[in-house]
Amino acid sequence: MPTCFAGSNESSHTAKWGNTFRRRFRRRLRKSAGLKILYIGDTVATAGRAMVRMQLRELQREHAIDFTILNCENAAPGNGVTPSMADEFFDLGVDVLTSGNHIWNKKEILPYLNKQSRILRPANYPPGNPGRGLVVAKTRDGEPVAVLNLQGRVFMPTIDDPFRVADTELATISAEVKVIFVDMHAEATSEKVAMGWYLDGRVSAVIGSHTHIPTADETILPNGTAYQTDAGMTGPYFSVIGVMKEDAINRFLTQMPTRFEPASQDVRLNAVVIDVDGETGKARSILRVQKK
């Protein structure tokens, strides 16, 4: 009987190590197979949110997406985002929300920024502001992905230096986290391009937001960072960057204050799909995506 008992322990011990080995093997296999990131550009007002509801699940299936990021700073009519809108994005399957200078427009979002770590504001706002600019979240398979949100200063509010803040924030990320995505929310294309080169080889991707116009310059930089100057908006393109064209034209003609109303026609979803080597964090491909 004792011999049989010992044999049972040994069998259990072997099975335990066998299961551990298989889990580690599957994890390594997943990493070598690549990790697919979907980034959805500035989502604008009611029309943009409706397009995300309609297209997100199919996009995730079509491209075998492991991790989804969406810029939400224009999700509410008149800019900004509310807690209920953020919660809806998470319920739809978005893993991390990024933003920009309009994140502060809805005051009810301020306490939410401190409570929900998966919604970011640009990291280079001065210390003491609500929220954070960096998060490490996990895919459904448990792989860590770091997301860093930065904001430019050219033709934008004068805040802290995004280049030096990027250095500081990246230094806090564990060496075990290989996949790092950067949303560079900026007006000037030169500032975005400079950030791409500055971070080349240190992050998996630098994708621009804010201008609402998709650019055709997607590339893999020499040291393995995927780059695109702007992913474009998810919203109505029969408009001037998302607002009624008549309102925008009137502002240019008169230079008088004008209330901008969100447009609703020709709604498109603009996004980027990035395939990242999970072992090295280097990007293997980048694909522009547009859905109508």
188 and 152 Cβ atoms separated by less than 8 Å: yes
214 and 290 Cβ atoms separated by less than 8 Å: yes
Q: What is the SS3 assignment for 147? A: strand
Between CA 94 and CA 40 the distance in angstroms is 10
Q: What is the SS3 assignment for 236? A: strand
Pairing of strands 144-151, 179-185: parallel
Pairing of strands 35-40, 267-276: antiparallel
Between CA 80 and CA 67 the distance in angstroms is 23
Is 13 one of the catalytic residues? no
Length of the chain: 292
43 and 81 Cβ atoms separated by less than 8 Å: no
Token digits of residue 60: 């995730």
Q: What is the SS3 assignment for 196? A: helix
Among 13, 63, 102, 210, the one annotated catalytic? 102
Between CA 100 and CA 119 the distance in angstroms is 11
Q: What is the DSSP letter of 188?
A: -
50, 76, 53, 65: which is closest to 273 by C-alpha?
65
Q: Which residues are catalytic?
A: 102
